[in-house]
Amino acid sequence: MNRENIHAALFACVADVPGLVIASRRLRHWNDVPSSEMPALFLAQGRQLIGPPAANGLPPKWQFDATVYIYVSTVDQVPGTVLNPIVDAVTALFDPTALGAPQTLGGLVEHARIEGAIETSEGVLGDVEVCMIPIRMLAI
């Protein structure tokens, strides 16, 4: 298992979502992203958990969490109309029904999936809409 390979593969998976102006693994605050760089996607690594050792003597599995942050400019637009197509594109990357199998990031993880609540600011930040999508990966 190689943490950097896993996170690099996750970023490669989400960075090509249609409609993005920039994508980065270096998280920036939405106030530091000009509207000319939006829609923007950022990937932030989260916590890392190790499970108990397997009963059959196999090594324990690692769980990695990450968050996809999406920032869109909503000047003169309804926030959801700008954000929803991008969220749909990101969630489709992790839909095992559409993919025909779990997302494995090219075989680096057992599964990578959206797990937990997708949160949005729904227009309370003025002309910027922010969305956070939680990703959980189980390393093999």
Number of domains in the chain: 1
Q: What is the pTM of this model?
A: 0.91
CATH number of the domain that residue 115 is part of: 3.30.70.1700
Residues 97-122: what's their mean pLDDT?
A: 92
pLDDT of residue 97: 85
Provide the domain limits for residue 134.
Answer: 3-139
List pLDDT tens digits, range 97-109: 888 899 999 999 9
CA 19 to the chain's CA centroid: 15
Residues 46-57: what's their mean pLDDT?
A: 83
List pLDDT tens digits, range 55-87: 777 788 899 999 999 999 988 788 788 899 999
